[in-house]
């Protein structure tokens, strides 16, 4: 479930996409969101069906591990995947660096050295995590159960309640948003514990 949540965690891109639309309106934004999620679902289902029909019970969490390096085609697929990740990585580093600078150094003058240092810390941290953790699915699972749930469900519900009631503790005045908030917190806690336990004790999952 955390991996599925992460797979559809596109909420953070809504504002930038909305401003890039020609004649941006809520209706047009909804059409873009529905279309993007529909395309994602179709692609995920096609890939899942193809993997299951080809490898059956031997299908691994990362389907690239099943492909191996047996042919030039599989090698090209893995190379293109690496290029894709390499091109997408800067798009995630920049907003993260911008957020940290706004939170911690909003009163300071812009500094190229500070920006490069923050970017270097992000890159080194990502490299260490990639080397330490054996599977990319572990990263997806932990992100899906923590930051994805927080950004996509917990914070929007909390902001909505606070804006409409003046306080986040007035849950009874906004029952639907309160259900989303409480349910998301509970799901995030249990999903995070599940992700951590499956990482520390993989034999528990394999024995099922």
**Contact criterion met (CB below 8 Å) for 123 and 93:** yes
pLDDT band of residue 42 (cuts 50, 70, 90) is very high
d(CA 123, CA 128): 9
Q: Comparing 42-56, 99-113, 189-203, which segment has the lowest mean pLDDT?
A: 189-203
pTM of the model: 0.60
pLDDT digits (tens, 9 = 90+) for 96-113: 787 788 878 878 888 888
pLDDT at 70 over 80: no
pLDDT at 205 over 60: no
The structure tokens 């909505």 sit at 160
* Chain centroid to CA 180: 19
d(CA 98, CA 101): 5
């Amino acid at each position: 479930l955390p991996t599925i949540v992460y797979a559809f965690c596109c909420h953070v891109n809504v504002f930038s996409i909305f401003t890039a639309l020609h004649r941006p309106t809520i209706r047009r934004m909804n059409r873009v969101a529905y279309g993007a999620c529909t395309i994602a679902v179709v692609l995920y289902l096609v890939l899942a069906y193809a993997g299951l029909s080809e490898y059956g019970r031997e299908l691994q969490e990362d389907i690239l591990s099943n492909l191996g390096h047996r042919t030039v085609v599989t090698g090209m697929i893995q190379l293109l995947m690496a290029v894709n990740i390499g091109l997408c990585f800067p798009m995630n580093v920049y907003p993260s660096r911008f957020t940290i600078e706004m939170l911690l150094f909003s009163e300071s003058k812009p500094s190229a050295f500070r920006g490069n240092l923050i970017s270097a810390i992000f890159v080194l941290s990502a490299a260490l995590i990639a080397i330490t953790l054996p599977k990319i699915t572990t990263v997806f699972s932990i992100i899906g159960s923590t930051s994805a749930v927080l950004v996509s469900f917990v914070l929007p519900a909390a902001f909505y309640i606070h804006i409409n009631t003046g306080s986040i503790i007035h849950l009874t005045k906004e029952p639907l948003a309160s259900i989303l908030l409480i349910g998301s917190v509970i799901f995030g806690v249990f999903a995070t514990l599940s992700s951590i336990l499956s990482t520390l004790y993989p034999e528990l999952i394999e024995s099922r």
